Amino acid sequence: MSARTVQVRTAAPYELRLGRGIVHESMRAAREYSAAAVLSDDHVWKLHGDKLQAGDARVVIVPQGERSKSFEQLERVLDALAEVRLDRRSCLVAFGGGVVGDLGGLASALFMRGIDVLQCPTTLLAQVDSSVGGKTAVNLRSGKNLAGAFHQPAGVWIDVDLLTTLDDQDYASGLGEVVKSAVLAGEADFARLEQHAEALLRRDPDLLLDVVEACVRQKAAVVESDEREAGPRRALNLGHTLGHAIERAAGYGRIPHGVAVAVGMLHACVRSAHEGVLQDRDLPARIRRLCARLGLPTGLDELRTRSGAALSEAELADAMQFDKKGALWILPVRLGEVRAVASKG
């Protein structure tokens, strides 16, 4: 089946390929290199490993979950790449969710000071967000993603058929970023989500293709304008100032990233109204209704009830101090427009 293509015109441009049942095409590209290795996690590899058709490429497997975004695993991956004698003209295929993409991206950025990485995201969150844009990282004791690099992939293969096996919580996490993307993109994208919320929830593959494509086009446009997040790219952090604090305060891994972002975005709406930045007074209610239909929490209180995490104001304020993005709030003005506002403390 034919795939769709989205160009990302960064300093070193690359293509995103979207389709159903296309993930093995990444290995075809990988075989053009002097050698290739594959990084995956135990969960993804068990479910989907055969679909990649990795042949005799060395496959490095890390345990599923955020704890694999560590220096320990990073060194393990790099040692494995050296063992199979990859060289500067080799590549690494990162086949998994955000953890594998971030870890594999950073390993590629560092191995011999930089080899190509081919991203094959297997979660909705990674497909719509983290596989595009070249942000890679591992976590430090003090916080998430504190050690990393900008390293654009040489290509991204987005196979929406892989999403059928995603558990509901991980799928919800992706939906949070999907809503965020639509808020940034504007009325047309947001209205499509409103029109097709139920079909999206039941993972209709054709709708998913359209929605994921819209998200990556939106993200590609922002990344092209500001590859290293000096300015405009900060818009993508809508919902992330509080979102990261929620993840941190609850204990990493307890609340899915995109769910925290959705709640953070709702909070940013309230803040935006309060500070007189919000122009479209209906927007908060529209976002809240869409979140409800997509099974996302509609605010901090609901998140507290659902998750059982205390998430006190004091905890959240403290957690926010650790965020490397600083206390910069991205506040919605209307669909398709946000404003960055420095925190008053």
Q: Which residues are catalytic?
A: 113, 135, 177, 219, 229, 233, 237, 240, 244, 257
Binding a copy of itself (rule: CB under 8 A), the pick from 17, 48, 69, 135 is: 135
User: Using the rule CB under 8 A, which residue among 137, 211, 319, 335 binds a copy of itself?
Assistant: 137
Q: Considering the rule CB under 8 A, would residue 148 count as an interface residue with a copy of itself?
A: yes
According to the binding rule CB under 8 A, does residue 318 interact with a copy of itself? no
3 binds a copy of itself (CB under 8 A): no
Non-local (6+) Cβ contacts of 115 within 8 A are 81, 86, 88, 89, 90, 91, 92, 108
Output the smallest distance, CB 327 to a copy of itself, in A.
11
For residue 214, the surrounding DSSP H or E stretch is helix 205-225
Of residues 82 and 310, the one with the C-beta less far from a copy of itself: 82
Single out the residue of 12, 32, 53, 71 in contact with a copy of itself (rule: CB under 8 A): 71
Residue from 108, 243, 123, 140 nearest 175 by CA: 123
Query: What is the footprint of a copy of itself within residues 21-60 (CB under 8 A)?
Result: none
Which letter does DSSP use for residue 148 in this model?
A: E
Site residues (CB under 8 A) for a copy of itself, limited to 279-308 = none
* Residue whose C-alpha is closest to residue 283's, from 184, 147, 207, 195: 184
Binder to a copy of itself among 142, 281, 313, 344 (CB under 8 A)? 142
Contact between 146 and a copy of itself by CB under 8 A: the answer reads yes
Determine contact, residues 40/96, Cβ cutoff 8 Å: yes
DSSP 12-61: S-EEEEEESS-TTHHHHHHTTSS-EEEEEEHHHHHHHHHHH--TTSEEEE
Which residues bind to a copy of itself, rule: CB under 8 A? Answer: 71, 74-75, 78-79, 82-83, 85, 87-88, 109-114, 135, 137, 140-143, 146-150, 228, 321, 324, 326
